Amino acid sequence: KIADLYQIWKDRPRNKRPTPGRDAVARNIFDRFADYMKRTAPRTTETASLRKEHIDGYLDEVEAEGVSARTWNGHLQMLRGAILRADPFAEINRHLKEKRAKTETTAHRTPFTADELERVFAAAAERDPLIHGLIVTAACTALRRGDVAKLRWSSVDLIAGYVTVKTSKTGEDVEIPIFPPLQKVLESIPRRGPFVFPEAEKIYRRAPDALDRRLQQVLADAGF
């Protein structure tokens, strides 16, 4: 069963037990793949029935989130190893073996200064209020694009001053203090449904790159 892949990965013989962080990453990957299959091919429940388009579609969805080549390769390697162990004779193993990993490059990034962030915030507030809220949230929490777009009110405690989320990268729960700029943004948003940014969640679900394009316009306005 596709739903059993995490347990198969966890139970395989190894010299050392996985660290809690690696275990969380593995669980997140296998749970995401199982969820993807339920959404896109609900009748395909066993590894023997997996096809090329299932694997490629899942990896394309992961790539659309803007993850690094290393993260993308991690998804591929996890699926490759677990499916091979679960079902050595499944046809999909040939495709998984032939699927090429991405070239990993080290990115050297210079963070924005406080003054530069203020310029970006100001440009966003003038051009695109939705992106302004997303940018402030990202800057104050270090959450990834998808985690910000899918942030739920149930994760926000304005009284205690914390945001508690399960990150998409590791699957672990983290508590993040709410800094004043984020407090101001959150207090200004009316609660209409489970998501803090319902419009962003809808855009992210349908076309994540659309958020990137709007962000690029804001950065251009700010001089970047």
Name every residue whose Cβ is closer than 8 Å to that of residue 96 and which is 6 or more positions away in sequence: 55, 76, 79, 80, 83, 84
- Whether the pLDDT of residue 105 is over 80: the answer is no
C-alpha to C-alpha distance for 203 and 34, rounded to whole angstroms? 23
pLDDT in tens, 184-216: 999 999 998 999 999 999 999 888 889 999 999
pLDDT computed for residue 167 by the predictor: 66
Is the torsion defined by CA of 26, 78, 146, 178 positive or negative?
Answer: positive
pLDDT computed for residue 174 by the predictor: 82
pLDDT in tens, 39-90: 999 999 999 999 999 999 999 999 998 888 999 999 999 999 999 999 999 9
Work out the pLDDT band at 27, boundaries 50, 70, 90.
very high
Work out the pLDDT band at 173, boundaries 50, 70, 90.
confident
Judge contact between 30 and 82, C-beta under 8 A.
Answer: yes
For residue 221, with 0-12 CB atoms within 10 Å meaning exposed, 13-18 middle and 19 or more buried, which class applies? middle
Residue 105 forms beta bridges with which residues?
A: none
Q: Which amino acid is at 133?
A: G
DSSP per-residue letters across 76-101: HHHHHHHHHHH-TT-THHHHHHHSPP
pLDDT computed for residue 106 by the predictor: 66
- Whether the pLDDT of residue 108 is over 70: the answer is no
Residue 163 forms beta bridges with which residues?
A: 156, 176
pLDDT computed for residue 165 by the predictor: 84
- Whether the pLDDT of residue 109 is over 80: the answer is no
Q: Which amino acid is at 165?
A: V
Q: What percent of the chain has pLDDT over 70?
A: 96
